[in-house]
Structure 1
Amino acid sequence: MVSEIIPVLSKIMEHKLNGTNYFNWSKIFQIYLRSIDKDVHLTNDPPINEKKQVWLRDDAKLFLQIWNSIDSE
């Protein structure tokens, strides 16, 4: 399964968000999140139960992936 995810993540890292490519970048990122079953992090709030801590940890990891896919120049 990891071998299936790596090409999508590599594509995101190759084509960082730079101000002119938002539409394509966002679509690729949405597909990536869907492929790892984490697309609910784009639209849902954290659960209010024992799963909240896991959700918040996953959300932080996804935030870092998004942050690292933005061109800083």
Structure 2
Amino acid sequence: MAHTFDSTLTASASEKKGGLWAALSRGFVAFCEAQSRQKDVAYFEAKSDEELAAMGLKRADIVRHVFRDRMFL
């Protein structure tokens, strides 16, 4: 008995696998970016309230400020 090869099944599985790898890749990049920005957060958190005010920041806004290009808040 001859077996037929269904290319649509293979393409579908391949696309799903590619989508998974792409999603994992995006997640890893986001994680690395967050880790690198942790130093920026620590920099601002080490400032006094007066120093932050002179920069136009409130302590509650530090994370939003550091991630302003990613969070769109």
| TM-score (normalizing by structure 2) | 0.34
Larger radius of gyration, structure 1 or 2? 2
Higher relative contact order, chain-length normalized (CA < 8 Å, sep 6+): 1
Structure whose residues are more often helix by fraction: 2
| TM-score (normalizing by structure 1) | 0.34
